[in-house]
């Protein structure tokens, strides 16, 4: 027995995160497979349970079954809890339970927390975890309170409160699950619902590290380069995305034509916010113009920010590579952002994330083109990008997926939630200095 314990496998923090997500997904699928989880009292096919659980834990929002129609309140509550765990990370919940029980947080647990929260330092990681939990529950409570002013008059007290809590959690965690059956299209002209959901999405997508710095800005009077890049990139994407969506869809009879100027701006703003990476929609995605669909794909691929509830390659990665291109054009040897030099290793990691992510999206699109016969190319690319970036938007393909298609997209959602981040962390932590240096040479590029 002692020999077995000696050879007990030791997992790295990155491996613990990947395995932890898988365990939560499988546990969620088992709960959703119970007869009590469906409204009819009949067991749901396990492949749909796995797909739904993966979508919830990976805060995506793609569904093969209508959430409002198929699941009972037990099933919906399981989905809501899975969204919360997936958005904050299971380590945050483990930390919360440990703190409640008065348990000491070990060094290894702190290392896993550091990986999960994408923190620069191990110092103060437990304090950051407490802040994340408090901040999350506070913002979600405020969001639910605002939404309840609209949902309670419509659905009654009990159902209205439940709907408010569910949609607040789903929006903050960038999940995109809804209980209306038609996302937010019924509320497209309701500024309270649309603006509340939009700000919950943006707050959740900025990242806890950025909000911690914003909270302490008055006292410290300084902000890290990371926060500056994230805030700038987010602002540019929202503003430019809103303007372009307005131009692309204003005269589209299937989306914005016939609406007032205010309603067009409101819907354009929401259509620019939700692809990063929430999955709600207030206008029909399948009725959007080709330009609007392509813009949505680009916004989905970029996603939110590191250490947040969002997916995608992340705003800081996209901003870093863009500024690297600008630096090359200006003839500078190193990447410069806000008068600061960026270490080349970080640039290499950003480049690796983008290339791997592109490779994944292309591969999944090619597989779907074989398994999902009869659908246009943009449907397949849209679905693959939405799954990878854990967005949840669809042009209508998800409910019609084949079994193989469901498996492929479930794996894509899982890879999108832990993959690029895991690869980046692995590259950062497993550096090996080589004593061998090969002779320098040149190749032609461009």
- Identify the band that residue 35 occupies on the pLDDT scale cut at 50, 70 and 90: very high
Q: How distant, in Å, are the alpha carbons of 1, 30, 39, 74, 158 from that of 36?
A: 41, 12, 7, 7, 20
Structure tokens at 45: 């096919």
Which phi and psi (to 5°) does residue 182 adopt?
A: -140, 40
Residue 128: the pLDDT is 66
Structure tokens at 204: 């959740």
**Choice between 409 and 9, residue whose per-residue pLDDT is larger:** 409
Average pLDDT rounded to a whole number, residues 8-29: 73
Residue 243: the pLDDT is 95
Which phi and psi (to 5°) does residue 153 adopt?
A: -60, -30
- DSSP H helices, 63-187, are 67-70, 73-88, 90-101, 107-117, 125-155, 157-172
Percent of the chain surpassing pLDDT 70:
82
Report pLDDT digits (tens) over 291-330: 999 999 999 999 888 777 778 888 889 999 999 999 888 8
92 contacts 98 by C-beta, under 8 angstroms: no
- Identify the band that residue 210 occupies on the pLDDT scale cut at 50, 70 and 90: confident
Report pLDDT digits (tens) over 341-393: 888 888 888 888 899 899 999 999 999 999 998 899 999 999 999 999 888 89
- The whole-angstrom separation of Cα 24 and Cα 347 is 33
161 contacts 153 by C-beta, under 8 angstroms: no
- Identify the band that residue 249 occupies on the pLDDT scale cut at 50, 70 and 90: very high
Residue 3: the pLDDT is 46
**Choice between 94 and 403, residue whose per-residue pLDDT is larger:** 403
> For the chain, which residues make up each domain, given as ranges?
9-427
Q: Indicate the range of 29-33, 124-128, 344-348 predicted with least confidence.
A: 124-128
Report pLDDT digits (tens) over 67-108: 989 999 999 999 999 998 887 765 555 555 555 555 565 555
Single pTM value for the model: 0.84
Residue 204: the pLDDT is 84
- Per DSSP, 186 falls in state G
300 contacts 386 by C-beta, under 8 angstroms: yes
Report pLDDT digits (tens) over 143-197: 999 999 999 999 999 999 999 999 999 999 888 899 988 888 999 889 999 999 9
> By three-state DSSP, how is residue 50 classified?
helix
**What are the b/e assignments for 52-62, b being 16+ CB within 10 Å?**
bbbbbbbbbbb
């Amino acid at each position: 027995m002692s020999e077995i314990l000696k050879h007990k496998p030791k997992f790295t923090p990155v491996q613990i995160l990947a395995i932890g997500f898988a365990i939560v997904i499988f546990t969620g699928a088992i709960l959703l497979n119970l007869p009590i989880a469906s409204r009819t009292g009949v067991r749901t096919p396990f492949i749909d349970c796995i797909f739904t659980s993966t979508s919830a834990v990976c805060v995506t929002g793609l569904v093969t079954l209508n959430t409002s129609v198929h699941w009972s309140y037990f099933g919906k509550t399981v989905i809501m809890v899975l969204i919360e765990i997936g958005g904050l990370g299971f380590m945050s919940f483990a930390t919360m339970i440990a703190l409640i029980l008065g348990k000491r947080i070990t060094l290894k647990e702190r290392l896993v927390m550091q990986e999960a929260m994408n923190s620069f330092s191990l110092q103060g990681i437990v304090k950051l975890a407490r802040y994340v939990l408090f901040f999350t529950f506070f913002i979600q409570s405020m969001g639910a309170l605002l939404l309840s002013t609209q949902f309670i008059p419509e659905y009654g007290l009990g159902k209205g409160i439940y709907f408010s809590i569910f949609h607040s959690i789903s929006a903050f965690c960038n999940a995109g699950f809804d209980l209306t059956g038609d996302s937010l299209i019924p509320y497209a002209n309701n500024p309270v619902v649309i603006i509340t959901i939009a700000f919950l999405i943006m707050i959740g997508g900025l990242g806890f590290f950025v909000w911690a710095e914003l909270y302490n800005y008055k006292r410290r009077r300084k902000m890290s380069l990371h926060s500056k890049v994230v805030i700038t990139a987010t602002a540019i994407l929202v503003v430019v995305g809103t303007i372009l969506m307005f131009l692309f869809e204003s005269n589209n009879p299937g989306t914005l034509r016939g609406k007032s100027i205010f309603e067009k701006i409101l819907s354009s703003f929401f259509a620019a916010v939700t692809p990063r990476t929430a999955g709600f929609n207030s206008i029909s995605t399948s009725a959007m113009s080709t330009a609007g669909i392509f813009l949505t794909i680009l916004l989905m691929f970029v996603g939110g920010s590191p250490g947040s509830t969002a997916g995608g390659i992340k705003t800081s990665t996209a901003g870093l590579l863009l500024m690297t291109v600008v630096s090359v054009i200006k003839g500078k040897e190193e990447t410069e952002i806000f008068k600061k030099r960026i270490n080349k290793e970080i640039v290499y990691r950003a480049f690796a994330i983008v290339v791997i992510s592109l490779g994944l999206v292309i591969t999944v699109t090619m597989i779907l083109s074989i398994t999902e016969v009869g659908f246009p190319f943009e449907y397949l690319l849209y679905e693959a990008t939405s799954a990878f970036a854990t967005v949840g938007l669809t042009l209508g393909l998800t409910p019609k997926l084949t079994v193989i298609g469901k498996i492929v997209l479930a794996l894509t959602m899982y890879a999108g939630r832990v993959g690029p981040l895991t690869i980046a962390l692995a590259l950062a932590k497993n550096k090996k200095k080589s004593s061998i240096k090969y002779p320098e040479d040149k190749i032609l590029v461009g």
